[in-house]
Amino acid sequence: MHHQEKPPEDNLTEPMEFVLLGFADMPHLQWFLFGLFLIIYIIILMSNGTIFLITKIDPALQSPMYFFLSNFSFLEICYVSATLPKMLMNLGTQRKRISLVACATQMCFALMFGGTECLLLAVMAYDRYVAICNPLHYPLVMNHSVCTQLVTGSWTIGIPVMTELTYQIFSLPFCGSKQINHFFCDNLTILRLACGDTFVNEMLLYIVVVLFGMIPFLLIFGSYSKIISIILRLPSATSRAKAFSTCSSHLMVVVVFFGSAIVTYLRPNTRHSDGTDKVNSLFYTILIPMFNPMIYSLRNKDLIMALRKLLCK
């Protein structure tokens, strides 16, 4: 008996679903991965939540640097929560289906939080630039009103852009495989599933990467070039070490985050592979948010003192 194929018009009216393959190529490690990522998620929530809490309640941590750090810690919680809970559910239940609307929502939030992270890292670099290169005017330049405006802009400026980018991607026809070889609805992976012409969408994506990735990175690079030149001109080794200690943690986070993101988005198309993209995505969506609190707190005596006071209460 010959089964008549449904015409494309009927396929387009059916509820669209994708399958998130995640780590399906490691079937015997599903429960191990579930436990591992659950522990990582708990660590991220607790460590970033602790930094957010102590920077809000400790009177010694009310400077602009800690205001930005508290927002950054809260952002890390949001960023991870956009992808990791769904991955844990898929690993735990082995039900890997995700509706088109849920997939688009996840992608939109991941893009928004990723863009916010790039902008907030640039704002934090500017804060360190003013503190080290123009210390006498620092309280005037980085007053509470300016800090609030910078943070608000970082959180909100990407909302319309990322929403439009997501809409454009999911406006494409998906008439082939619905299997997403990733642990979340990543834009590059979704674009590879589209069966229409994706050139315009790819150009839009690269424009967004330049606006929210490369421009903040270049601003950070310029800020740290000036910071390092000022630090090297300081008269004593002690003053140089003290000045550098205030920005070394941030610089380390910038290098790892932007490094993994640049490798993912700015490689030639011919060198893209789902496996490599999956590993890179693990770095900037899950592992970096886990290590960031350690990077910031281990080299910061004020944070360590505030944490000790909180634990002793």
pLDDT at res. 2: 43
Which stretches of the chain drop beneath a pLDDT of 70?
A: 1-15, 267-274, 313
How many contiguous H segments (helices) and E segments (strands) does the chain have? 16, 3
Query: 217 near 263, Cβ under 8 Å?
Result: no
- Residue 270 in any domain: the answer is no
pLDDT at res. 139: 94
- Residue 299 in any domain: the answer is no
- Residue 12 in any domain: the answer is no
C-alpha angle 169-165-254 in degrees, rounded to nearest 5: 120
Q: How many domains does the chain have?
A: 1
pLDDT at res. 284: 83
Whole-number Å distance between alpha carbons of 130 and 41: 34
142: tokens are 């980085």
- Residue 29 in any domain: the answer is yes
Q: Nearest to residue 170, comparing CAs of 110, 100, 121, 106?
A: 100
- Residue 3 in any domain: the answer is no
- Residue 47 in any domain: the answer is yes
Whole-number Å distance between alpha carbons of 228 and 230: 5
Q: Which domain holds residue 223?
A: 17-263+275-293
Distance of CA 151 to the CA centre of its chain: 16
Q: Beta-carbon neighbour count of residue 66 at 10 Å?
A: 21
What is the domain-level CATH number for residue 54? 1.20.1070.10
Whole-number Å distance between alpha carbons of 108 and 162: 6
Query: Which amino acid does the sequence have at 63?
Result: S
pLDDT at res. 4: 44
Q: Nearest to residue 122, comparing CAs of 249, 27, 215, 25?
A: 215
- Residue 156 in any domain: the answer is yes
Q: Beta-carbon neighbour count of residue 70 at 10 Å?
A: 19
pLDDT at res. 6: 44
pTM, 2 dp? 0.90
Neighbouring residues of 77: CB distance < 8 A, sequence distance ≥ 6: 44, 45, 48, 49, 52, 289
